[in-house]
Amino acid sequence: MSGLCGWIGYGDSVSENQELIRKMAAPLARFDKSIFHGLAGKNSGLAVSASSDNAHTHQEEGVFVAIWGKPRFRDSRLAELSRTAGLAKALADQWCAKGEQVFEGLQGAFALCVLRERDGGSEAVLATDRMGTYPISFDAADRRLIFGSSADSILLHPSANSRVSSQSLYDYIYFHMVPGPGSIYEAQKRLLPGEYLLYRNGRSEIRRYWEMRFLENEKRPFQELKHDFLEVLHSSVREAVDGQQVGAFLSGGTDSSTIAGVLGEVTGQPARTYSIGFDASGYDEMEYARIAARHFSTRHQEYYVTPDDIVAAIPQVAAVFDQPFGNSSAIPTYYCARMAQADGLSRMLGGDGGDELFGGNVRYAKQHLFSLYEQAPSLLRSALIEPLVFGVPGGGTVPLIRKARSYIEQASIPMPARTETYNLLDHYGREAVFTPEFLSAINLNYPASLLDETYHQNGARSLINKMLAFDRKFTLADNDLPKVAKGCELAGIQAVFPLISDEVVAFSLRLEPQLKLKGTKLRYFFKEALRGFLPDEIITKQKHGFGLPFGVWLRHHKPLQALAADSLSDLRARNIIRGDFIEKLLGHHLDEHAGYHGTMVWVLLMLEQWFKQRQDSRSAT
């Protein structure tokens, strides 16, 4: 793990503060061979722990700066100052001169902190990058601010509150992760992508320095767009390589195949690619990865994950996440990254973000179809279509009419609630899953209100762009980016995401909506621009990825069954989940549909494993 941590507003001797900052920074180097830089004054402390090119610090009279990552200044003068005097020094000068305007000129993935101590008080600023690649959590109470890229670091401060939030436990089971800005701990919050926190004299305020602003009416010739797109792709991959020994995940999908092909071109040598397979019908896509590997002549390696691998990895994966995390793809991500680390590589390039910038998720096409019904005149719907479809006696037994009814029912639900019509928790029913005592302390409407707030805060007019902005938070920052970053961290390797570079993001914001989703054709421009570069089989394949056949294997693999049963039994004792639901889930539901209900088993299993790795181990010390 790499990252930064610190506090402001907690006075003590400088020597004692230095010892405290070292203690807080210790979890940041638990999984990573990092360097440590610590700065401490009487009322504050600040540390960054990362590889030498990813850690930047500066201290001068009354000012401490720490940066995790490698951001760049847009301004050529500042870029030169950064090169000669150091990135942190350049940022310190800019902060003292321009304050919050400094963020407008920063590019790249980063987390940063600036502390200033003055006679009249103290101030701090925390910030994360535009896509939320580098996380920042904080605990602001009692006129002090404790912060860190890891919740573990914050909890090592003597003033930190480690009480687990019941609301966040509920949100985790609803979303399969704890969505920002919340945290699993009651006192902690997280910065969202493009946000910064300003703390002055005991008071903190969160502000947004960047948002996704779409230019939806800009029309440009296809060949001009293609030329610019290929340029930013190559530039972003070249920047991601940055002179390091790198490899690339290769699932055989459009994004990972593109990264693999461009990587070979920018380095002038065959890309090193890594794929994961599963010996389970309907889950293995190794053949598509092989097609891409042959097409681009990569130095390709494969590994087939087994049920025994899952049993071995579950406690480790639960330990590397400081929040409960229920995306099972973290397991194959880890095993894939482990192959690269064994090859001596220091960095893996992930293709995450391409779907969320260029319109590649199947749900985008599905919601487009539903939106067609919304666009029909309300009188036509209420006076003709709906009476006709719902008024047919026995229509529920006629397949065509039953399908029409389902379409109308879903299309009548407004966005973004319509995206949750298949939510597992809604399928089971809250009262059937949670104990009454637990539910009594929960705001059941919070997930829906968070979805609604996120969806409507962007000014996009088109449905596709509204969904892309929505997924920047829920799919990328809350889910896919931490999944890949933490899986790589556990393997001792760094993850970098070329497809969400500032240049690629800026290009996507100017692309016409119909070039992202043309009717129901997903990522239309992306595929057409790469036609002839990517194999045709990759362009036309259905999206899949590194999905884990957990539920399927759970039915037959005894050690996996034992781990799941023991974990859910222990979770039952925490009085969160009803015992009869757990029994039904492991029995009737799994027999009914192992793949579908196995997802909930995994979510609950990883929650209990998180408790064991975090809460229970902390209580024992």
- Per-residue pLDDT tens digits for 174-192: 999 999 999 999 999 999 9
Token duo for residue 381: 């719907």
List of residues 6+ apart from 321 with CB closer than 8 A: 330, 482, 486, 610
Using alpha carbons, list the distances in angstroms from residue 155 to 43, 150, 185, 277, 324.
Answer: 18, 9, 10, 38, 16
Beta bridge partners of 433: none
How confident is residue 12, by pLDDT bands cut at 50, 70 and 90? low
Contacts of 471 (CB under 8 A, 6+ apart): 355, 356, 361
What letter would DSSP give residue 573?
T
Q: Kindly list the domain boundaries of the chain, sorted by start residue.
A: 3-208, 230-356+482-516+523-540, 362-465, 550-620
> What average pLDDT does this structure show over 24-31?
79
Q: Find the mean pLDDT for residues 201-225.
A: 94
Radius of gyration of the chain measured on its C-alpha atoms: 25
- For 272-321, the pLDDT digits (tens) are 999 999 988 778 789 999 999 999 999 999 999 999 999 999 999 999 99
Tell me the average pLDDT of the chain: 92
Tell me which CATH code domain 230-356+482-516+523-540 carries.
Answer: 3.40.50.620
Beta strands in 299-423 (DSSP E): 299-305, 347-349
Residues 568-587: b if buried by 16+ CB within 10 A, e if exposed: beebbeeebbbeebbebbbe
| Alpha carbon of residue 314 to chain centroid | 19
Type of residue numbered 307: P
Contact 128, 107 (CB under 8 A): no
- What average pLDDT score do residues 552-560 get? 94
* Nearest Cα residue to 304 out of 314, 315, 289, 291: 289
Class (C level, CATH) for 3-208: alpha beta
Give the mean pLDDT of 12-22. 80
**pLDDT for residue 621:** 46
Element (H, E) at 64: strand 63-69
Higher pLDDT, 25 or 193: 193
> Over 90: is that where the pLDDT of 21 sits?
no
Q: CB-based burial of residue 424 (10 Å sphere; 0-12 exposed, 13-18 middle, 19+ buried)?
A: middle
> Binning pLDDT at 50, 70 and 90, where does residue 619 land?
low
3-state SS class at 595: helix
Structure tokens at 244: 């390091």
Query: Which range, of 79-88, 392-401, 512-521, 556-565, averages the lowest pLDDT?
Result: 392-401
